Chains A and B, each alone.
Chain A
Amino acid sequence: MRTHMHETLRVMREAIAAGLSDKDARSHSGMSGGNACRMKSFIDSGSIEDNVYNRATVYALATSETNANMGKIVAAPTAGASGILPAVLIAFSELNRVDDERVVDALYLTGDIGMKIAKTASLSGAECGCQAECGSAAAMAAAGLAFLMGGTYEQSENAAALALKSLLGLVCDPVAGLVEVPCIKRNATGTSVAITSANMSMAGIESVIPFDEVLVAMKQVGRTMPEQLRETAQGGCAVTATGMRIARSLGLKQRRGDESGTFVRE
């Protein structure tokens, strides 16, 4: 079992490396690719500091671009939100020389947080929107980071509550129905929510609403979210003028007389 978690960590590192290996790689749709390298160059040029926030941004972009390009990733908890957790844990452990055994411990803890979310709320965008995917991933990453910073289980759970509260209500609105726009950049920005939440928790800042109750809120928000905003590509970014233009250029056209933004292949 523990060997399998080490293997999981190895695949996470490979997915980051793959995303940084070719700045010209593009996904099948042509919508994504190259931004992990762009962000890394910006750090390497000295324009911004090489700290946990910025390195995690690069790593989240890298994993998510690898995913969009049909590379090998670890769903954490889903493929669409696979960038956040490895980015935060690996960026922090590199900068602070944390050994792999401890990172593996952190992964087990984040799995426990994820199971609690799955049990009370959901990890599915189709069911509860992106709060269930990037929101859950950020909560898990925050908990894992608090642990790596020396926090107790309570501090980890508190960090997860802080992160999840910040992303409650986040909609799932993928352009052309593909796991690319806005998913990849949501993975990148999701890392900052996770890191800030872990830092606040370690500073002693408590979530007024406890983790268990945040999960109930998440489920309730998901239940009342219209179907158009739950992975159907019928709302939000997917039906903006640009989103629709991209979908059309990929050979999808809007159904005649249907204003909802449902696409069919031409």
Chain B
Amino acid sequence: MDVFDIIGPIMIGPSSSHTAGAVKLGNVARILLGSEPAKATITLYGSFAKTGKGHGTDKALLAGICGYTMDDAGIKTVFEDCPFEYEFKYEENSDYHPNTALIELSDAEMSVKMRGASVGAGRIEVQEVDGMEVSFSGDFNTLIIFHSDRRGIIARITTWLSENGINIAFMRVFRLSKDDKAVMVIETDQKVAGYKILESFQDGLRVEYYENTHARNA
């Protein structure tokens, strides 16, 4: 925590959890797709569903998917300016965290499904990606690596990071089942450049990278 967590962030109102955090959830979903979406389907749960319209949560999520930052005045008019097709759904009763959104994005080739919660003061937790339970906050620079569960792939990737001067702050691996689809989430202390080379390490492996632009010490 630093002084700008208290006197800040600079953001579009009215709510750090229902507006600023929602933008960040949209930002991460956009990164996970890795390209400009052709279509977005956004489901708001719990408190997001109940008070989301009044808090502009719907606009904030969509603006995040469009790549806006939480202090972008364009958030207010994103419904008119959004370049792709979008749809909202509302589920008031759920067992999820009260401020949860499910974001499904697709382009011509692929799709991604992300569920995350805005946990207060503009902070988020991504909880599910393509049916796999994950957990990361976007407080760090984050590599999200979609791969197949095979022996040795984790070692190859972490070796590459080490050789390129990257220290891993946190790392977790999730898989659907043995030898099946898996996702590796690596949060790093440094910015990561040239990470696309990791895609040559395994057939069908895909790497996306979320850079925490709000980290003032990075």
Residues of A within 8 A of B (CB): 1, 4-5, 7-8, 11, 27-29, 66-80, 82, 85, 107-108, 110-112, 114-115, 118, 123-124, 126, 140, 176-180, 233, 250-252, 263-265
In the complex, are the beta carbons of B10 and A66 less than 8 A apart? no
**A33–chain B nearest beta-carbon distance, Å:** 12
Closest to B73 in A: A72
Q: Chain A residues with Cβ under 8 A from B28's Cβ?
A: none
Q: Does B90 contact A265, Cβ atoms closer than 8 Å?
A: yes
B3–A111 touching, CB < 8 Å: yes
- Closest residue of chain A to B56 (Cβ to Cβ) is A70
Considering the complex, which residues of chain B in the window 1-34 have a beta carbon less than 8 Å from any beta carbon of chain A? 1, 3-4, 6-16, 19-20
Contact for B7 among A8, A27, A176, A177, CB less than 8 A: A8
Most buried by A among B6, B15, B51, B59: B6
Option from A66, A70, A140 in Cβ contact (under 8 Å) with B19 = A70
Asked if A79 and B53 sit within 8 Å, CB to CB, the answer is no
Q: Are B54 and A176 in contact (CB under 8 A)?
A: yes
Most buried by A among B9, B10, B11: B10
In the bound assembly, the distance between CA atoms of A77 and B9 in angstroms comes to 9
Out of B6, B49, B51, B71, name the residue touching A118 (CB < 8 Å): B6
Q: Is B47 an interface residue (CB 8 A)?
A: yes
In the complex, the answer to whether A76 meets B7 with C-beta atoms within 8 Å is yes
* Residue contact B13 to A118, C-beta cutoff 8 Å: no
Residues of A within 8 A of B55 (CB): 178-179
The answer to whether B14 and A70 have CB atoms under 8 Å apart is yes
CB <8 Å contact, A114 and B7: yes
Let me know if A178 and B13 touch, CB within 8 A: no
User: Given A27, A72, A74, A251, which contacts B8 in the complex, CB threshold below 8 Å?
Assistant: A74
List 19 A–B pairs whose Cβ atoms lie within 8 Å, in order of A's numbering.
Answer: A5-B3, A66-B13, A72-B10, A73-B12, A79-B13, A79-B14, A110-B7, A111-B6, A111-B7, A123-B6, A124-B120, A126-B120, A176-B54, A177-B47, A178-B51, A178-B54, A179-B13, A252-B50, A265-B92
Nearest Cβ in chain B — how far from A55, in angstroms? Answer: 21
B138 within 8 A of A: no
Contact B50 A177 (CB under 8 A): yes
Nearest CB in chain A to that of B51: its residue: A177
Chain A residues positioned under 8 Å from B16 (CB to CB): 75, 78-79
Q: Which residues of B contact A78 (CB under 8 A)?
A: 16, 121
A73 contacts B13, CB within 8 Å? yes
Chain A residues closer than 8 Å to B13, beta-carbon distance: 66-73, 79, 82, 179
Cα of A75 to Cα of B47 in the assembled complex, Å:
21
- Min CB distance A63 to B, Å, is 9
Shortest Cβ distance from residue A49 to the other chain B in the assembled complex, whole angstroms: 30
8 Å CB contact of A178 from B1, B6, B14: B14
Partner of A264, one of B6, B50, B122: B50
Q: With both chains docked as a complex, state the minimum distance between the C-beta of A27 and any C-beta of chain B, in angstroms.
A: 8
B76 within 8 A of A: yes
The answer, among A28, A108, A118, A124, for a CB contact under 8 Å with B54, is A28
User: How far is B49's CA from A179's CA once the two chains are assembled, in angstroms?
Assistant: 16
Task: Report the minimal beta-carbon distance from A124 to chain B, rounded to whole angstroms.
Answer: 6
Interface presence of B178 (CB below 8 A): no
The answer to whether A180 and B6 touch (CB under 8 A), given A4-B216, A264-B92, A265-B50, is: no
For the complex, give the distance between the alpha carbons of A215 and B91 in Å. Answer: 38
> Does B75 sit within 8 A of A, measured CB to CB?
yes
Q: A77-B6, A79-B19, A115-B6 are in contact. List 19 more A-B contacts (CB 8 A).
A: A7-B10, A8-B8, A68-B13, A70-B13, A72-B13, A73-B11, A73-B12, A74-B8, A74-B9, A79-B11, A80-B15, A111-B3, A111-B4, A114-B7, A118-B6, A178-B55, A233-B51, A263-B50, A265-B50
A27: chain B residues within 8 A (beta carbon)? 14, 54
| A70: B residues at CB distance < 8 A | 12-14, 19, 56, 59, 75-76
Nearest A residue to B217, CB-CB: A1
Q: Which residues of A contact B4 (CB under 8 A)?
A: 4-5, 8, 111
Within the complex, the shortest CB–CB distance from A215 to chain B, in Å, comes to 14
Give Cα A77 to B121, complex, Å.
Answer: 9
Q: With CB as the reference atom, state the residue of chain A lying closest to B6.
A: A114
Q: Which residues of A contact B3 (CB under 8 A)?
A: 5, 108, 111-112, 115
